[in-house]
Structure 1
Amino acid sequence: MTRVSTNDEFTDYLTLVDIHAGNVLPEKKSFLDRALFWIRNHLLVLIVVALPTGLATVYYGAIASDQYLSETRFVVRSPNRNAAGLLSGFLQSTGFVRAQDDSYVVMEFIESRAAAGDMAEHGGLREILSRPEADFLTRFPAPWGKPTGEALYQHYLDFVTIETDSGGGVTTLRVRAFRPEDAQTLAQALLDRAEMLINRLNDRARQDAVRFARIEVADSEKRLRDLQKSLTDFRNKVAMVDPSKQSASMFEMIAKLSDDVAQNKAQLASLIEQTPQSPQIQSMRSTIDAKEQQIIEERARIVGDDASMAPLIAEYEQLLLQRELGMRMLESSATSLENAKLEAQRQQLYLERIVNPNRPDYAMYPKRIKSILMIFALCFAVFWIARFFRNQIYDHSET
């Protein structure tokens, strides 16, 4: 009988244990475990791509409300400006050109809080944006917001867009609403307010032009009255109506006296030659001397010191010149006033409608498939960026 050693028995036991362990099948995992394992491995793509895209699909596919678009086009034109562009050339050929700066004024007004407030007060903007057809995300007020004026204005900007073509000057206004008639009504109301704005600009321009012209006329009349008063005061001071005419009569007297002196001198020379002892010779000499003295005095009254007629004539002519200039300024101001009145009768700016607001019969918004695809593309791009950074972090941590 052969005896087995203790070491050989232990070795055989270990061999049997290994064989048994190798024949044991691995435990089969449940479906829930496999699902959780797959979710853990794909958690990033589920959160970044699948969840937002799924929510967008549910919202745009079953929740988002239809929105109807009403569109109108117009141009602001003026008869007093230079034109550029094809449409402007056409308008210029008809006597009018586009006023692009004023088109931007209309744009700023429609996009302003004043327009939103006016629509809320007179156009039923709150009711239009709060229709029961609207979904909870696009209805006013938003679930997380309050029905304030600022919130209404921000909501208004989401439904109203306006843009101007810088090349042709055509302005396009687009209005969205949850009902076709609401979109058309709101677009029509905004267009009417734009026309009222243009009319106010015209009225203001007319009133300013006429007012400034009347002020200029009043200033010219006052200036002319002051000049006329200065002329009257001068006449009262010198006790003469017209120093120029007075000096003219004095010149005529000097001329007459000079003729008399010359005639008397001729007579005196003839008398001395014929009758040297005549008693009339001395009398004639006295007469000549008196007339010559009178001529000297009359000339001194016309020209000489400050009391002579020459300074008075210069001052008088200066007053006459100022009055003439004042009269011409008054005539020019009166002409400007008449022109301003005539210009005020013409409308300087026109809002010409090219396309009236239409009533849509098909919901143009939201762009459901396009919106879902855009959200998917955006989320997919974010996923790849996040995955790239995650891999970079893992690679650096392993090194």
Structure 2
Amino acid sequence: MTRVSNNDEFIDYVALVDINRSTAVLPQRSSFLDRTIDLFRRNLLLIAIVIMPAALACLYYGFVAADQYVSETRFVVRSPHRNAAGLLSGFLQSTGFVRAQDDSYVVMEFIESRAAVRELSDNNQLRQIFSRPEGDVFARFPAPWQSPTEEALYEHYLQFIDVETDSSGGITTLEVRAFRPEDAQQLALALLERAEMLINRLNDRARRDAVRFAEIEVKDSEQRLAGVQESLTAFRNRVSMVDPGKQSAAMFEMIAKLSDEVAQSKAQLAAVSEQAPQSPQVQSLRSNIEAKERQIIEERANIVGGDASMAPLIAQYEQILMQRELATRMLESAATSLENARLEAQRQQLYLERVVNPNLPDYALYPKRIRSILLILCLSLAAFWIARFFRNQIYEHSVT
């Protein structure tokens, strides 16, 4: 009988254990790994398009995304000279003012402009507000994919404001988001102040333009009247006559007087001729009548008898007087317009009336975590079904 040593028994035990591991444990591990790899391969499209984006969304909105507070304000731009419609407009009209919807759009464009960003950056620390440590790495400025430029700041700014105008009521709603409640309220107040400054600049420019145009019109009218007056003075100096009309009237009176005297002389001549035909007064009376008739003819020729007569001078004089009358009336009209423009300039044409002042939020409305996650999940599922459809179509065509 052969005795087996302890070393031989230990070697046989180790060999038996190795055989059991090779026949039982290793096939189980290989089978589980194969099933896992096969499951991953068969659902690679689902994992890449649906599961991973949904998981990243849950991770971001659940643990990374920072709270954003919203300060809301509402205002209306109104004018005293425009027609209105609607309930709110009727109320404003009853108080003497109506809404100015076109100017509301001007305010909207300014709020969404680079000029507003520049003013907020210079006076209200816009960069610091968007770079608060409370914000997450993707929402702070600058984001990892952004550079700290003015253009990047403007694009970032547009993501944190929302402004829209109700076309029926004319009320403009402005929402401003920030990582701190007081920052949101501060930005909303600053934007309202800048909008009011814009309205005031528009009013100032309208007033200056109205008064300036009226003053130019008055100056032109004064120059026109002065030119006509100079023409009138030059005409009087040239003809050595103040008023040709009055001069011609005096000449007409002289002609009328001479005509009366001629008539009297003729009557006297007829009487003398009947009583004493041989009287020496007959010849004297005839000479007197002939002299007066010649003088009447000369006076009439001076009034209407050619270019040197009074008629052309009277026409020129009356034309100059008509020009002076027109220039005077234009000056009076321009002076009235200037006075009206100055009175209108004392009234503000546009008003920015705050309906609701910016509030100090105490609850973060953004981000919409559940809604955002569900939205990403829905979009991922839609993209998954589209991609799966195209994959199946490509597979079927390749098989056939």
Q: Same fold (TM over 0.5)?
A: yes
AA paired with 2:164?
E
Aligned match of 2:251: 250
- Report the Cα distance in structure 2 between the residues aligned to 1:251 and 1:347, rounded to whole angstroms: 62
Aligned match of 1:118: 119
Q: Does 1:156 align with 2:169?
A: no
Aligned match of 1:207: 208
Deviation at 1:177, TM superposition (A): 0.2
AA paired with 2:168?
G
Deviation at 1:398, TM superposition (A): 1.5
Q: Equivalent residues in 2 for 1:83-102 (5 A)? A: 83-102=84-103
AA paired with 1:333?
A
- Report the Cα distance in structure 2 between the residues aligned to 1:171 and 1:368, rounded to whole angstroms: 27
AA paired with 1:316?
Y
Q: Equivalent residues in 2 for 1:356-395 (5 A)? A: 356-395=357-396
What secondary structure does 2:241 align onto? coil
- Report the Cα distance in structure 1 between the residues aligned to 2:247 and 2:38, rounded to whole angstroms: 126
- Report the Cα distance in structure 1 between the residues aligned to 2:38 and 2:285, rounded to whole angstroms: 154
AA paired with 1:100?
Q
Q: Does 1:271 align with 2:272?
A: yes
Q: Does 1:43 align with 2:44?
A: yes
Q: Does 1:347 align with 2:344?
A: no
- Report the Cα distance in structure 2 between the residues aligned to 1:191 and 1:52, rounded to whole angstroms: 40
AA paired with 1:350?
Y
Deviation at 1:33, TM superposition (A): 2.3
| TM-score, normalised via structure 1 length | 0.93
Q: Equivalent residues in 2 for 1:161-310 (5 A)? A: 161-310=162-311
Aligned match of 1:336: 337
- Report the Cα distance in structure 1 between the residues aligned to 2:394 and 2:330, rounded to whole angstroms: 86
CA root-mean-square deviation: 1.3
Aligned match of 1:104: 105
Unaligned runs of 5+ in 1: 1-23
Deviation at 1:84, TM superposition (A): 2.2
- Report the Cα distance in structure 2 between the residues aligned to 1:259 and 1:159, rounded to whole angstroms: 102
Moved over 2 A (4+): 27-33
- Report the Cα distance in structure 2 between the residues aligned to 1:103 and 1:302, rounded to whole angstroms: 71
What secondary structure does 2:364 align onto? coil
Deviates more, 1:83-92 or 1:372-381: 83-92
Aligned match of 1:67: 68
AA paired with 2:296?
I
- Report the Cα distance in structure 2 between the residues aligned to 1:104 and 1:86, rounded to whole angstroms: 20
- Report the Cα distance in structure 2 between the residues aligned to 1:109 and 1:228, rounded to whole angstroms: 52
- Report the Cα distance in structure 2 between the residues aligned to 1:141 and 1:361, rounded to whole angstroms: 26
Aligned match of 2:11: none
Aligned match of 1:397: 398
Aligned match of 1:19: none
- Report the Cα distance in structure 2 between the residues aligned to 1:33 and 1:144, rounded to whole angstroms: 40
Deviation at 1:32, TM superposition (A): 2.3
Deviation at 1:275, TM superposition (A): 1.0
- Report the Cα distance in structure 2 between the residues aligned to 1:393 and 1:310, rounded to whole angstroms: 106
- Report the Cα distance in structure 2 between the residues aligned to 1:321 and 1:57, rounded to whole angstroms: 89
What secondary structure does 2:214 align onto? helix
**Percent identity (aligned):** 73
Deviation at 1:86, TM superposition (A): 2.2
What secondary structure does 2:159 align onto? helix
What secondary structure does 2:169 align onto? coil
Give deviations 1:258-298, integer Å, cap 9, x for gaps. Answer: 00000010010011111111111000000000000000000
Deviation at 1:397, TM superposition (A): 1.4
- Report the Cα distance in structure 1 between the residues aligned to 2:174 and 2:355, rounded to whole angstroms: 11
Deviates more, 1:79-88 or 1:154-163: 79-88
- Report the Cα distance in structure 1 between the residues aligned to 2:397 and 2:249, rounded to whole angstroms: 116
- Report the Cα distance in structure 2 between the residues aligned to 1:33 and 1:132, rounded to whole angstroms: 47
Give deviations 1:134-190, integer Å, cap 9, x for gaps. Answer: 000000001121110000000000001110111111100000000000000000000
- Report the Cα distance in structure 2 between the residues aligned to 1:397 and 1:277, rounded to whole angstroms: 154
AA paired with 1:288?
I
| TM-score, normalised via structure 2 length | 0.92
- Report the Cα distance in structure 2 between the residues aligned to 1:175 and 1:218, rounded to whole angstroms: 50
- Report the Cα distance in structure 2 between the residues aligned to 1:285 and 1:42, rounded to whole angstroms: 144
- Report the Cα distance in structure 1 between the residues aligned to 2:178 and 2:255, rounded to whole angstroms: 100
AA paired with 1:272?
S
What secondary structure does 1:30 align onto? helix
- Report the Cα distance in structure 2 between the residues aligned to 1:276 and 1:144, rounded to whole angstroms: 135
Aligned match of 1:144: 145
- Report the Cα distance in structure 2 between the residues aligned to 1:151 and 1:392, rounded to whole angstroms: 43
Aligned match of 1:11: none
Size of the alignment, in residue pairs?
376
